[in-house]
Amino acid sequence: MLSVIKFCDFKRKNSNNEVHNIPIDEIRPNPYQTRRYFDMVSLIELSESIKKFGVLQPIGVRVINKSFYELVYGERRLRASKMAGLQSIPCIIHSLTDKDSALMVMIENTKRQNLNFFEEAEGYESLLRYYKFSEEELATMLNKTGSSISNKIRLLKLDLETRQMIIENNLTERHAKAILKIPDVEAQKRVLKVIIDNDISPKIAENLVSKELEIIRRNKRVTVKNQVLKGKVTDTRLLRNTIKRSVDIIRKTGLDVNFEDMYKDNIYQASIKIKV
């Protein structure tokens, strides 16, 4: 397992290091790849380099059936090779289980810093959910702390639209963590728009979020107070109706009853006069 064997040793021990030229159309994407965003400019540059010098470093694949291979690492090289018009690409064939393939993809991306923070979080969550790693096991294998894993995964509480806005506008993980503190989705988007429109730094964004949270707390206190007052008014109406029913019962006996009441400054006052 990767938890025991160093990554480079693992790659060597699970392949014979022979390079095979494999047709590109026989290579399928890796289902465990969480990387979604690729810099098109750098892909074009890599494609031009491949046209001139070829693919200098083989990509890694594994066999999935007699007809097809599955990409393990080297997605940029594979994409750039397609753009360059290559029909085949040099590959090293690895013997990997699904679990080891998923983990190798994550390690390769982390090692090369290929992922943005949301993609990294998705990769961690996938390994935890589908392969039942604990956060401690995953942290050990990736040479990270358990808290860094859990904090990264927490970013996925932001909805997809918010995440996309953050990535497309080149905001930082610190921006994302600040936005995450806001409990209301609409408020998150409102504050995020202010941050984007004004090109606000992470530090100022954190201050802006703190002010938004204070407004939310203040509004919540007002709402609770109004609910309490509404409850008091309801209780007063119940009391008044009860007294009026009693007065009506007395009147039905033939007695002359005078009933007056008043509610002022949170005080309910009732006066009943009976002529006998």
Kindly list the structural domains of the chain, giving each domain's residue range(s) and its CATH number in brackets, ordered by start: 7-157 (3.90.1530.30), 225-275 (no CATH)
Q: Which residues pair with 267 in a beta bridge?
A: 264
Q: What is the DSSP letter of 168?
A: H
120 within 8 A of 148, measured Cβ to Cβ: no
Active-site position among 70, 75, 108, 122: 75
DSSP string computed for 4-42: TS-HHHHHHHTEEEEEEEEEGGGEEPPTT-------HHH
75 noted as active-site residue: yes
The structure's pTM equals: 0.61
Phi-psi region of 57 (alpha: psi -120 to 50; beta: other; left: phi over 0): beta
In a structure prediction context, what are the per-residue pLDDT tens digits for the chain, which is 276 residues long? Answer: 444 334 455 555 555 678 999 999 999 998 877 777 777 888 999 999 999 999 999 999 999 888 899 999 888 899 999 999 999 999 999 988 888 888 888 877 776 666 789 988 988 888 888 777 788 888 888 888 889 999 999 999 999 999 999 999 999 999 999 999 999 899 999 999 999 999 999 999 999 999 888 887 876 654 544 554 455 545 566 667 777 777 777 777 777 878 787 777 667 677 777 776
